Amino acid sequence: MALSGLDIYKLLPKTNCRECGFPTCLAFAMQLAKKAVELGRCPYLSPEAKATLEESSLAPIRLITFGKDKKIELGNETVLFRHEDKFYHPTAVGFIIDDNLSDKEIEERLDRINRLKFERIGQLLEPELVAIRQNADKKRFVEVLKIISQKIDLSFVLMSSDIDSQKEALSCVADKKPLVHPQGKENLQEFAKLAQEFKVPLVVCSSDLEEMSHLTKALKKQGWEDLILDITAKSLTEEIWNLTQIRRLALKKKDRSFGYPTLMVVDEKDPYLETIKAADYIAKYASIVLMQGTQPWQILSLLTLRQNIYSDPQKPLQIEPKVYPVGQVNEKSPVLVTTNFSLTYYTVLGEVEASRIPSYIMSVDTEGMSVLTAWAAEKFTPDKISSSIESFGVKNLVRHNRLVIPGYVAVMSGDLEEKSGWQVIVGPKEASGIPAFLKNLTRTGVG
Ligand code: SF4
């Protein structure tokens, strides 16, 4: 729990000896509360005060890192609700591969997983994990791991309750820093020793919160704290309740035994239900979601949801304000005006591309606001658009002086014509109308 300056002051020696470089203990305490100085600058702290202050400076949810090439970072979250600040580390999405599948089935599955890459509003969306689940013997488990490691560059989760199989698998892919999932509570201390030896995080399984708290406390005592909590239970209601309680207990009650990222396994054959469950887990704080389904519609919808939840609500996603050529533009190409809100720009871009009519899109700096919001906030005004035309040198790009504005701001067309000296053509209100609009524009020779 973060302490206030006065709380910290109460724990200091109060001798004002100045050895820390500050004139008083209170001044040092205030800087410590702001995390502007190191605790070690005071040499006179009692062991109890030191332990309390060190504990208070820890993140309420531990940051856990694993994987090598594409490192996964989970936890270190600070709020229950996104609007209070933001969520920092997006849910890692992964796929379970059972080792009793045939080599051919595994390869087909890997091919499908490797194709799951999507671009949305300028960002690449893709899954992060592949989990190898043991159903057969140690030999097959390791064999499948080797097949997978040659064909995929995602991070690994090793799912096996057999300590020897885990050990051998870890030896094969130690450099990839996988996550160890023992699939139960048996031999947990042995698994913790193994995780410690290979310096990899360990999954702790229990759907009972009280038991989970005992287990994490025992492992902490044993010396291993890189833990991830698997609270997969019998019903979705119970799971969502547990996910929410764990987050609350860690952040609000400062219960360190729950201060770890969480993992959920979606065990559902119906792909629609599977996707809905995975979406629920992503929305309610799961740090990792492992599933079977690899259909593009499932993964695109989940990654889109994740992208929306884990974007910063205080900072709209924006693109650089400038003129973007789309296709083989020339001096006759139409010029469309829009804002620099990513979602708006990429929606317009998609429709212009679909029209196959090379065009310029002029993205005006509206501080990431969409068309109507920016217009209402006076960030998308005739003055702003006119000065953008000038500063982007649009008149050097085309030989005409016609500008297409979004239909929703038709009201500014007269004023804009007057201020810019360009002829304003009012475009469609919805981006979906752009292809037909552009085709008509070029057909009539206006564009
Ligand atoms: S070194 Fe410690 S005791 Fe001395 S002034 Fe600083 S905080 Fe106070």
Question: Which residue's CA is the nearest one to ligand 1's atom 7?
Answer: 25
Which pLDDT value is given to residue 33? 86
Distance 38 CA to ligand 1 centre (A): 12
pLDDT in tens, 264-282: 999 899 999 999 999 999 9
Reading the block at residue 24, the tokens are 């008083």
Residue 446 has pLDDT above 70, yes or no: no
State phi, psi for 277 to the nearest 5 degrees: -65, -45
pTM of the model: 0.80
Residue 192 has pLDDT above 80, yes or no: yes
pLDDT in tens, 99-131: 999 999 999 999 999 999 998 888 899 999 999
CA distance 264 to 97: 15
> What is the pLDDT confidence band of residue 398, given thresholds at 50, 70 and 90?
very high
Identify the helix (H) or strand (E) that includes residue 133: strand 129-133
Question: Which residue's CA is the nearest one to ligand 1's atom 4?
Answer: 17
Please, which residues have CB within 8 angstroms of residue 271's CB and are 6 or more apart in sequence?
A: 293, 295, 298
CA distance 16 to 22: 8
Phi-psi region of 221 (alpha: psi -120 to 50; beta: other; left: phi over 0): alpha
Distance 1 CA to ligand 1 centre (A): 22
CATH class of 64-309: alpha beta
State the architecture of 5-56 in CATH terms.
Answer: Orthogonal Bundle (1.10)
Which pLDDT value is given to residue 173? 94
Which pLDDT value is given to residue 123? 87
Distance 29 CA to ligand 1 centre (A): 9
Nearest to 131 by CA among 113, 117, 115, 116: 113
- Amino acid occupying residue 298: Q
Residue 27 has pLDDT above 70, yes or no: yes
Cβ distance 15 to 44 under 8 Å? yes
15 Cα nearest atom in ligand 1? 3
Distance 13 CA to ligand 1 centre (A): 7
pLDDT in tens, 196-220: 999 999 999 999 999 999 999 999 9
Residue 445 has pLDDT above 80, yes or no: no
Distance 15 CA to ligand 1 centre (A): 6
Q: What is the DSSP letter of 57?
A: T
Task: Determine the average pLDDT of the residues in 62-77.
Answer: 91
Task: Determine the average pLDDT of the residues in 80-97.
Answer: 94
List C-alpha distances in Å: 10 to 34, 42, 304.
16, 14, 48
Residue 2 has pLDDT above 80, yes or no: no
| Coil vs helix vs strand at 159 | strand
Nearest to 305 by CA among 73, 114, 125: 125
Ligand 1-lining residues (CB < 6 angstroms): 12-13, 15-20, 22, 25, 28, 42, 44
Which pLDDT value is given to residue 1? 57
Task: Determine the average pLDDT of the residues in 56-65.
Answer: 87
State phi, psi for 317 to the nearest 5 degrees: -70, 120
Mean pLDDT (the chain) is 94
| Coil vs helix vs strand at 392 | coil
Question: Which residue's CA is the nearest one to ligand 1's atom 2?
Answer: 42
Rg (CA), the chain: 28
Q: Which of 25, 30, 41 to mutate to test the pocket of ligand 1 (most atoms within 8 A of CB)?
A: 25
Distance 43 CA to ligand 1 centre (A): 7
| Coil vs helix vs strand at 92 | strand
pLDDT in tens, 169-185: 999 999 999 999 999 99
Question: Which residue's CA is the nearest one to ligand 1's atom 8?
Answer: 25
> What is the pLDDT confidence band of residue 56, given thresholds at 50, 70 and 90?
confident
Domain-by-domain residue ranges, the chain? 5-56, 64-309, 323-443
Distance 25 CA to ligand 1 centre (A): 5
Residue 159 has pLDDT above 60, yes or no: yes
Ranges 67-71, 173-177, 298-302: which has the least confidence: 67-71
Distance 309 CA to ligand 1 centre (A): 44
13 Cα nearest atom in ligand 1? 3
Which of the four CATH numbers 3.40.50.11600, 2.60.40.420, 3.30.1330.60, 3.40.50.2000 does domain 323-443 have?
Answer: 3.40.50.11600
Question: What stretches of 272-322 adopt beta strand conformation (E)?
Answer: 288-291
Residue 54 has pLDDT above 90, yes or no: no
Dihedral sign computed on CA atoms, order 278, 281, 287, 288 = negative
CA distance 313 to 317: 9
Q: Across-strand partners of 340? A: none
Distance 8 CA to ligand 1 centre (A): 12
Ranges 86-100, 224-238, 272-286, 306-320: which has the least confidence: 306-320
Q: Which of 9, 11, 14, 17 to mutate to test the pocket of ligand 1 (most atoms within 8 A of CB)?
A: 17
Distance 57 CA to ligand 1 centre (A): 18
Task: Determine the average pLDDT of the residues in 365-383.
Answer: 95
Q: Which of 6, 9, 12 to mutate to test the pocket of ligand 1 (most atoms within 8 A of CB)?
A: 12
Identify the helix (H) or strand (E) that includes residue 56: helix 47-56
Cβ distance 159 to 96 under 8 Å? yes
17 Cα nearest atom in ligand 1? 4
Question: Which residue's CA is the nearest one to ligand 1's atom 6?
Answer: 20
45 Cα nearest atom in ligand 1? 2
